[in-house]
Structure 1
Amino acid sequence: MKINTYENRLLAVLFLGFGFVFFDRLALSFLFPFVAKDLDLNNSHLGMLSSVLALAWAISGITLGAYADRKDSKKYILILSVIGFTVCSALSGMVTSFLSLLFFRALMGIAEGPVLPISQSLLVAASAPKRRGLNVGIVNATAPGLIGAVLAPPILIWLATEYGWRSAFYATIIPGLVIAALMLLVVRNKHVHADVDMGHSIGNKGDIKALLKNRNVVLCVLIACFYISWFITIVSFTPTYLMEVKGFTPETMGNVMTSLGFAWAIWGFLIPGLSDRFGRKPTLIFFTVIATCCPMVLLYVDDASTMLPLIFLTYTGLGCFAIFMVAIPAETVSSTQVATALGLIMGVGEIVGGFVTPVLAGFAADAYGLDIVMWIAAGGSVIALLLSFMLTETAPVKVGKPVALATP
C-alpha cells in the first residue's frame, strides 16, 4: 500500500472518529434546554456537567497519551476508547437525576481523553510534511466542526423535539460502533517514525518531565488553558444564552449553532493549511485576534440574520487549535513523544479551560447574568493571543527541511 493511500484512508477514519467525539461531547449543550426542564437543572449544573467531563478527559488524555507512546501499537487503545465513549453517551439517556448524569459524563470523558493525542500522533506519522498542518487541522477542527457542530444541532434538536431528549442520546450508539469497526479495518497496528534533519533526539517514551523543559511545549500548554476557556465557554453557554437572553426559538438557536459549526469546519482546515504556507506563529496570532470578536458578536448583535454571517467570520479559534495543540508541538518534540506532548497540552488545557472555567462561568452567570460568560470567553482569547507572540516558529516552510515522519 502506498503511503499516500494509507494517509488518506487514515485521515478519513480519524476524521469520523474525532468528529463523533464532539458529536457526543456537545450533545448535552444542544439538548440542555430540554434536559433542564425534565431534571430541574440550572446554569450552575450545566457548568459542572461540562467541567466534570473536561476534568476526566484531561486526566485520561495526559495519562493514556503517555501510556500509548510507550506501546508499539496504539490501535486498540483508540478503538476501545471509541466504544467506551459511545456506550456512555447512549447511557446518558437513562439518567433520572443530576448526579447520575454527572456520573455518565465523567465516564465519557475518561473514554474520550486519549482519542485526540493518539489519533493525531498516528496522523502526524503518516502525513507528508507539506500536508501536516492541513491534515491535523482537518481532524482537529474540521471534523468536530462539521460532525459535532453542523450536523449535531439539527439532528439532536429534531430528535429531542419529536421523540424526546433521551432518544437523542440513545441514537448515538450506532454510528459510534460503526466507526470503531472502521478503525479496526483501516488503522495499522504499528507505526514507525524517523527523526532527522531538525536536531530532535529520540526522547524517553512518555517522559512528561522532559517535555516541561521545552519552551514551545510550555507555551502551548498555557495557550491551551485560555483558548479552551474561550471555546468551552462559548459552546457550553451559547444555546442557553440565545434562548434565554436573546429570546430565540429552539430552531433559530439551532441555526446559529449550525453557523458556528460551519465556521468551525471551514476555518478548521483553512487556518492550519495557511500555516503550512505562511508559518504557524503569524497565522495563529492573526486569527486569534479575529476569534476575540466572536463573543462580542453574540453579546451585542440581537438580530439572528445579522448574527449568522458575523459568527461565521469571527469563529476562527478552532482552526488555531490545530496549530498550538498539534502542529507546533509535533514539530518541536521527538516523534516518540508526540502523543505524550499532545495529551499534556490538551489535558492541562482541559483542566483549566474545560473544568475550572465553566464552573466559574456557570456560577457567575447565575449571580450576574449570562452576559458575563461572553466576557469570560473574550478574556481567554486575549491572553492566548499575548502568549502566542512568545512562540518559536516550527513550520517547515519557515525553518528549513522538515522532520521525516514516515509510516512503512
Structure 2
Amino acid sequence: MFKDKTLLGLILAVVFMMVGVGMIVALLPQRVVDLDGNGRSVGYLASAFAFSYLLLQVPMGHLSDKIGFKPLLIGGYLLCFLTGLVFYLATSSQMIFFARFLQGAGEAPVWALAPALLSLKYPLAKGKVMGIYNAVFHFGLTMGPFLGVILAQGLKSKEIFLVYSFACLAGAVVIYLLVEAPVKKEEQTTGLLDYRILWELVKQGQMFLCLIGITFYGTGYGIFLTTIPAFLLQEKGFNPLGMGLYFSLFYMAISLAQAITGPLSDRFGRNRFMILGLLLAAGGMMMTPVSHFPLIFWVLTIASLGVGIFHLASMAFLNETVPDSLKGTISGTYYLFWGTGMLFGPPIMTRIATSVSFQASMAGYSFLILLVAVGMMKIWGWKSPAKKQNLYE
C-alpha cells in the first residue's frame, strides 16, 4: 500500500502543508494585533477562513467529479502558497483577512477531495487509507508548533510565513509528480451541480442522522479549539506549557483514533464506530468541567479519541452511500455540514458558558450528541448491518 505513489504523494503533501499551518496558526492573532494596535478584529481570522471554506465545499466537490481530483488539489496547494506570501507581505489587517479567505479556499480540497480520491483508489480498504491520511494530517498539525518554536530561534516571526508558503508549494509539486488520477468505473457527471441530488441524499433517515452527527462533530472540534482552551485558562489556571500539552494530546489522540478506526471499520462496519465515537466524546466532555489536574487530561483525551473515531467512521459511511461519480460531491457535503457546526456551534457554546456556566454548556452539548448516538442505535443497532446499495445504483 505504501509503495503506491498516490498515497505516498498525498501523505507527503499534507505533511508539508499541515506542519506549516501548525507553525503559523499561533502567529496570526499577534500579526493582526501588531498591524491594528489592538485585538478587536482578531475574531475575523476564523470568519474569513470559514466563509470561503464553506462556500466552496460542495461546488468544488461536484467540479472534482467532472474534471478529476488532481487539478483541484494542485490548485489548492498553490492557492495556499500565495496565501503565505500575502501573510508575509501584509501591511494591514485587511490583507491578513483576505489571505485567510484564500487559505480557506485553498484548504477546502485538501480536507475533502484527498479522502475521496483515496476511496476510489482503494475501494476495499477505504477506511484504512482515509484513516492514515487523516492521522498524518493531524500529526502535521501536532508537529507544526514545535517546529515553529525551533525556527523562531533563527528567524523573525514574519519569516515563518515564508516557510509555510514554500511548504505548500512543495506540496503542489509532490501532488503533480506522484498523484495519479483513479480510473473510474462509471461515467463522470457532466451537468451543472443539481442541489436536488443533495436533497435526495439528505432526506434519507440514515443519511440525515449521520449529517446531524457530523454537524455536532464540527461543533465539538471547534469547542476543542476555542471554548475548552478558554475554560482551561480562566477556570483551571493553565499556563502556556499546560496549553501546549493540551493541544498536543488533542491532535495526537485524533491521529491515533483515525489510524486505528480505519482498518477496524473496514472489517466490522462503520455504524458501531460512529456510535462509539459519539459515546466517548459525550462522556469525556460531560466529565471535563468537574475534573481537575491531572485527571482532566485523561477525560479530554477520551473525548478527543471519540471525536477522531466518529470523524473517520462517518466519512467512510457517507462515502459508501454514493457511486463513484459523486464521491467528490459527498465529500464536499460532509465538510459543508462539519464546517457549519464548527462555525456556529462554538459561539453558541461560549455564550451559554458565559451567561449560565461552562458545565451547563458542556452538559447540553453532551446530551445532544447522546441523542444522536441513541438514534443511530435505534436505526442500525450495534451490529454491523448488511451492506446496502447506494442511492443511485
The TM-score, its normalising length taken from structure 1, stands at 0.79
Task: Pick the aligned partner of 2:171 from 140, 164, 179.
Answer: 179
CA distance in 2, matches of 1:246, 1:97: 35
Question: Is residue 353 of structure 1 aligned with residue 341 of structure 2?
Answer: yes
Question: Is residue 227 of structure 1 aligned with residue 217 of structure 2?
Answer: yes
Task: Pick the aligned partner of 2:132 from 138, 151, 167.
Answer: 138
Q: Name the residue aligned to 2:368.
A: 383
Q: Name the residue aligned to 1:54.
A: 50
The C-alpha deviation readout for 1:121-180, integer Å capped at 9, x for no partner, is: 210111141x2211112223x1222111x2023223454577554333332123222221
Task: Pick the aligned partner of 1:9 from 5, 10, 13.
Answer: 5
Displacement of 1:194 in angstroms is 5.2
Q: Name the residue aligned to 1:153.
A: 145
Of structures 1 and 2, the one scoring higher in RCO (CA 8 A, sep 6+) is 1
Which amino acid letter does the alignment assign opposite residue 182 of structure 1?
Answer: V
Q: Name the residue aligned to 2:111.
A: 116
Task: Pick the aligned partner of 2:274 from 268, 278, 284.
Answer: 284
Task: Pick the aligned partner of 1:88 from 53, 67, 83.
Answer: 83
Contact 2:321 2:389 in 1 (8 A): no
Task: Pick the aligned partner of 1:338 from 306, 312, 327.
Answer: 327
Q: For the structure 1 residues 180 and 22, does the alpha-carbon distance in structure 2 shift closer, same or farther, using more than 3 Å as the test?
A: same
The C-alpha deviation readout for 1:240-299, integer Å capped at 9, x for no partner, is: 554454333323321221111211110112123322222211111112111124445654
Contact 2:270 2:317 in 1 (8 A): yes
Q: Unaligned stretches of 5+ in structure 2?
A: none
Displacement of 1:109 in angstroms is 0.4
Contact 1:84 1:108 in 2 (8 A): yes
Contact 2:21 2:144 in 1 (8 A): no
Which amino acid letter does the alignment assign opposite residue 171 of structure 2?
Answer: I
Q: Name the residue aligned to 2:243.
A: 253
Q: For the structure 1 residues 254 and 273, does the alpha-carbon distance in structure 2 shift closer, same or farther, using more than 3 Å as the test?
A: same
Question: Is residue 273 of structure 1 aligned with residue 260 of structure 2?
Answer: no
CA distance in 2, matches of 1:77, 1:151: 26
The C-alpha deviation readout for 1:345-364, integer Å capped at 9, x for no partner, is: 211331x2232234445666
CA distance in 2, matches of 1:397, 1:128: 18
Contact 1:280 1:394 in 2 (8 A): no
Contact 1:66 1:340 in 2 (8 A): yes
CA distance in 2, matches of 1:396, 1:191: 33
Task: Pick the aligned partner of 2:66 from 45, 64, 70.
Answer: 70
Which amino acid letter does the alignment assign opposite residue 210 of structure 2?
Answer: C
Contact 1:81 1:114 in 2 (8 A): yes
Question: Is residue 211 of structure 1 aligned with residue 164 of structure 2?
Answer: no
Which amino acid letter does the alignment assign opposite residue 348 of structure 1?
Answer: F
Aligned residue for 1:332, secondary structure, equals coil
Q: For the structure 1 residues 397 and 361, does the alpha-carbon distance in structure 2 shift closer, same or farther, using more than 3 Å as the test?
A: closer
Aligned residue for 2:200, secondary structure, equals coil
Contact 1:85 1:112 in 2 (8 A): yes
Q: For the structure 1 residues 221 and 20, does the alpha-carbon distance in structure 2 shift closer, same or farther, using more than 3 Å as the test?
A: farther
Q: For the structure 1 residues 127 and 289, does the alpha-carbon distance in structure 2 shift closer, same or farther, using more than 3 Å as the test?
A: same
Q: For the structure 1 residues 291 and 46, does the alpha-carbon distance in structure 2 shift closer, same or farther, using more than 3 Å as the test?
A: farther
Q: Name the residue aligned to 1:399.
A: 386
Contact 1:267 1:319 in 2 (8 A): yes
Q: For the structure 1 residues 182 and 203, does the alpha-carbon distance in structure 2 shift closer, same or farther, using more than 3 Å as the test?
A: closer
Cα RMSD for the two superposed structures = 3.6
CA distance in 2, matches of 1:113, 1:377: 29
Q: For the structure 1 residues 14 and 398, does the alpha-carbon distance in structure 2 shift closer, same or farther, using more than 3 Å as the test?
A: farther
Q: For the structure 1 residues 40 and 230, does the alpha-carbon distance in structure 2 shift closer, same or farther, using more than 3 Å as the test?
A: farther
Aligned residue for 1:282, secondary structure, equals helix
Moved more, 389-398 or 244-253: 389-398
CA distance in 2, matches of 1:339, 1:396: 29
Contact 1:47 1:359 in 2 (8 A): no
Q: For the structure 1 residues 127 and 382, does the alpha-carbon distance in structure 2 shift closer, same or farther, using more than 3 Å as the test?
A: farther
Which amino acid letter does the alignment assign opposite residue 105 of structure 1?
Answer: R
Q: For the structure 1 residues 84 and 312, does the alpha-carbon distance in structure 2 shift closer, same or farther, using more than 3 Å as the test?
A: same
CA distance in 2, matches of 1:99, 1:377: 35
Displacement of 1:385 in angstroms is 4.3
Moved more, 331-340 or 10-19: 10-19
CA distance in 2, matches of 1:217, 1:294: 26
CA distance in 2, matches of 1:253, 1:160: 19
Which amino acid letter does the alignment assign opposite residue 230 of structure 1?
Answer: G
